[in-house]
Structure 1
Amino acid sequence: MDVSQFDFDLPDELIAQSPLANRADSRLLVLNKETGERDHRHFTDIKEYLQPGDALVLNDTKVIPARLLGTKLDTGAKIELLLLHEGESHTWEALVKPAKRVKVGTKVEFGEGKLVGTCVEEMDEGIRKIQFSFEGIFHEILDELGEMPLPPYIQEQLDEKDRYQTVFAKNRGSAAAPTAGLHFTKEMLKELEEKGVKVVFITLHVGLGTFRPVSVDSIEDHKMHSEFYQMSSSTAEVLNQVKRLGNKVVAVGTTSARTLETIASKNGEFVESVGWTDIFIFPGYEFKGIDALLTNFHLPKSTLVMLVSALAGKKNILTAYKEAVEKKYRFFSFGDAMLLI
């Protein structure tokens, strides 16, 4: 299947550059994934589409200030790191720019020496293993020196770091926010629980697998990067019960969807799990875990457009996206939401 089949025209002015003053003020395009019918609503109307007994699955990962700007100790050249995965002994896998300047043994300092990173391994596609040395507590230093890793299509500065976190963010580890969850307020989640919707949490630390562009012509040739996930036994128990009773499992975001599908595909049901996933979902995939999906509007030719096309059909998705452009919906991380149900 050719990647070009998932392309569409998107005017630059529809790319949301900043969050709305109120998280829940976004618009909601509701797409019936079977019929292709569309409704244009307000995000708070989502409660009309969730019934008592349904499960709303949220990714409680927390974005770390993973972007570090430093200089090479020997030449003073500027180096940028995006921290991806934390290993042992303060070693991280990091996307490095420019990677060609960072070889094994290269030292990069940050904050005038508060943090020094040494390259200990060269990996593929600009990724390096960096071992850090410092005095104090690493995450406190990172909070001081690091920046929120906003996507490259966002040009404006983010005044409040918390606006790139969900209100339920808990487990540190993401290089990007699970953006579908940004729309929810604590009050909305409480209202849904009072209605009888089961609000549960999983964790997937968002890394390159979620947002790396597709650089091949054929979908089948694309390889996803692995991302860490976990599900508790209590969440698994709730989701299995929801399934048994014939209610809906509604994933919030493609990260939740990929986690749920990884676990359900491996086990035939939901079970307590910890692991890494490189699952790539595109048309032809048979869903085994989720029944519905809340998501944002995604980049043309991205793995995320392919995922939603697998769930609702490519024609339905591209028709809905065309209508969203015509009606000037806001796209991408700080944009509006879409419910596939």
Structure 2
Amino acid sequence: MGAPAFSFHLPDRLNATAPPEYRGIRRDHVRLMVMDRITGPIVHDRFDRLDRFLRSGDLLVFNDSRVLPAVLRGKWERDGRVWETEVEIRLARRLSDRSWEAWVPEISLMAGDRLLFGERWTATVERPDKDAPFVVLVFSIGGRELLDRIWAFGEPIRYDYTARPWELDTYQTVYASSPGSVEPPSAGRPFSWELLFRLRRRGVQTAFLSLHTGLSYWGEDSPFDPGAHREAFRIPEATADKVNRTRESGRSVIAVGTTVVRALETMANGKGEVDAGEGWTSLHITAGYSLQSVDGLLTGFHEPEASHLDLLSAFTSPDRLREAYDAAVKEEYQWHEFGDMHLLW
């Protein structure tokens, strides 16, 4: 186990409260801080010039998970009595076609309680979750029909630092295709199709996997335990092959986001290769972890003491990482899912 994530002062003015498109710039015109993860030098640039830093044959691996509107509102029923006040339900992770783990912050639910979302669909509380303050909800509908209802009636999770409730599309990457995340895998958000095509013309390869992000925050009194945070993933055969061939050729594999690192490292087989497959991962990467599948990381800037900083410490020394974050604060980079980007390689 490595050292815990470090703390630092993040001024409120550095919170990106709105998508760049609503701040007057294109999504791929956010800033980019490039850091040599071994020796530490830092370059300040713009994200749409990412192709200047990558070589022909390098591989970018993306998470193609699409964000669901994970906040539902319904009425609470216990022993036949229905409370008229609506309660908020935050979906945490999908367990099956009909069941989800969920956090219901306003009330304490018991097995057998029901949540009513309309005349034609409900959810029954099956049991509390022992590892987190979640309940398991079993919906009266499943599969595509349930997803359609969530799309129609849900709202995206909103964070306190955002200026207003943004539409769901503002959280999506341009290539998102596999619905399932409840929080945005936001490292890929600044990519435009124009930039992706330019990278392809330069000879930079691309590959995709899916990791559906779960709910990572459920109140100040329930601290997040990254080791208990299970997320579903799938790595296609074609992606595993590209990763393995790229590393064999001496070129770099760059993960677009910490979710990609966790998925690939979960399926690293100890022989210098990544296996295709799917399942659940609760892998918590920290300083001192020996990376087996990736050579670089493209990510946003993470808040003080976030577990993501533990993972970044596996790419570079904690001292270099702290210096990079001190530079980002000094240069007034923007934080969070609508903010600027950081390339470590």
Q: Is the 8 A contact 1:214 1:222 kept in 2?
A: no
Q: 1:184 aligns with which of 188, 191, 198?
A: 191
Contact persistence 1:89–1:131 (CA under 8 A): no
Distance across 1 between alignment mates of 2:270 and 2:119: 45
Instruction: Name the SS for the 1:98 alignment partner.
Output: coil
Match of 1:123 in 2: 129
User: Which range moves more in the overlay, 77-86 or 125-134?
Assistant: 77-86
CA gap 1:208/1:138 in 2 versus in 1, 3 angstroms = closer
Q: Which residue of 1 aligns with 2:283?
A: 279
With over 3 angstroms needed to count, the CA separation of the structure-2 counterparts of 1:280 and 1:216, relative to structure 1, is farther
The answer to whether the 8 A contact 1:55-1:248 is kept is yes
Q: Deviations over 1:120-157 (max 9, x none)?
A: 11113221111112599222221121001233433422
Q: Give SS of 2:309's match.
A: helix
Distance, in Å, in 1 between the alignment partners of 2:282 and 2:274 is 18
Cα deviation for residue 114 of structure 1 reads 4.5
| TM alignment of 1:162-201, pairs within 5 A | 162-201=169-208
Residue in 2 that maps onto 1:208: 215
Contact persistence 2:98–2:141 (CA under 8 A): no
Asked if 1:142 corresponds to 2:150, the answer is yes
**In the alignment, which residue of structure 1 is the partner of 2:320?**
316
Q: Distance in 1 between matches of 2:275 and 2:46?
A: 34
- Judged with a 3 Å threshold, the aligned counterparts in structure 2 of structure 1 residues 172 and 243 are, in CA distance, closer, same or farther, namely same
Deviation string for 1:243-289 (max 9, x for gaps)?
Answer: 11100000000001111111115664112111111100111111111
Q: Any idea what the Cα deviations from partners look like across 1:194-227, whole Å, max 9, x if unmatched?
A: 1111110011001136x6799899x9x8623111
Seq. identity, %: 33
Q: Tell me if the contact between 2:232 and 2:279 (Cα under 8 Å) persists in the aligned partners.
A: yes
The answer to whether 1:329 aligns with 2:337 is no
Helix, strand or coil at the partner of 2:72: strand
1:232 aligns with 2:256: no
5+ long unaligned stretches in structure 2? none
Q: CA RMSD in A?
A: 2.4
Deviation at 1:113, TM superposition (A): 3.7
Which residue does 2:58 correspond to in 1? Answer: 54
Q: Would the aligned equivalents of 1:216 and 1:222 in 2 still touch at CA under 8 Å? A: no
Alignment correspondent of 2:27: 23
- Measured at CA, do residues 122 and 77 of structure 1 come closer, stay the same or move farther in structure 2, by a change above 3 Å? farther
SS in 2 for 1:36: coil
For the 8 Å contact 2:3–2:287, the answer to whether it is kept is no
Report matched runs for 1:241-256 at 5 Å.
Answer: 241-256=245-260
1:17, distance to aligned residue in structure 2 (A)? 1.1
Residue type at the aligned position of 1:7? S
Partner of 2:139: 132
Q: CA deviation at 1:115?
A: 3.1
CA distance in 2 between partners of 1:261 and 1:212 (Å)? 26
Q: Matches of 2:337 and 2:202 in 1, distance apart?
A: 28
- Partners in 2 of 1:70 and 1:267 — Cα distance? 50
Please give the residue correspondences for 1:21-170 in structure 2 after superposition, counting only pairs within 5 Å. 21=21, 22-73=26-77, 74-88=82-96, 90-98=98-106, 100=108, 102-110=109-117, 112-124=118-130, 125-133=132-140, 137-158=145-166, 160-170=167-177
Q: Which amino acid aligns with 1:105?
A: G
Q: Please report the TM-score for the alignment, with normalisation by the length of structure 2.
A: 0.90
Change (3 A) 1:168 1:312: same
Name the SS of the counterpart of 2:87 in structure 1. Answer: strand
Mean CA deviation greater in 200-209 or 24-33: 200-209
Following superposition, the deviation at residue 92 of structure 1 comes to 1.3
- Partner amino acid for 2:39? T
Deviation at 1:106, TM superposition (A): 1.0
**Counterpart-to-counterpart distance in 1, 2:119 and 2:285:** 43
- Report if the CA contact (8 A) 1:231-1:273 is conserved: yes
State how far apart, in whole Å, the 2-side matches of 1:62 and 1:315 are.
Answer: 35
Unpaired runs of 5+ residues, structure 1, are none
Aligned with 2:299: secondary structure? strand
- So what's the TM-score if we normalise by structure 1? 0.91
CA distance in 1, matches of 2:103, 2:276: 31
Q: Higher helix fraction: Structure 1 or Structure 2? A: 1
Partner of 2:251: helix, strand, or coil? coil
Contact 2:3 2:310 in 1 (8 A): no
